[in-house]
Amino acid sequence: MQQIEWNDFFKVELRVGKVIRAEVFEQARKPAYILHVDFGESLGVKKSSAQITALYLPENLVGKLVVAVVNFPAKQIGPIQSECLVTGFHNAAGEVALCVPDMDVPLGTRLL
């Protein structure tokens, strides 16, 4: 495992957001959803392409808190600009389970 400096970690802005809309990403090469995530007043709503279709349905994602990297440059993925990276973990079957806070915290709160 490669070690990093504390300052390297602090460059990554991991923040809590709430999924306000989720839809099937029809044009994606691999099954994915387009998530619209609200990070509160300071950051607003950002879009993300997320390959989480194995464990989640779009209607079950709305209202869910997620942890996302918000300071990557936007990335063009097919017809959409992905503006944040929603985080998760692969389970034993290789499916992505979202990284979520276990209780309510204010939108936009930074992981430290």
How far is the C-alpha of 40 from the C-alpha of 94, rounded, in Å?
31
What's the pLDDT score for residue 3? 96
Which residues of the chain are under the pLDDT cut of 70?
none
Closest CA to 21 of 75, 64, 51: 64
pLDDT of res. 10: 94
Q: What is the pTM of this model?
A: 0.95
Per-residue confidence (pLDDT) for residue 93, from 0 to 100:
97
State which CATH number among 3.30.70.141, 1.10.238.10, 2.40.50.140, 1.10.1740.10 fits the domain covering 10-98.
2.40.50.140
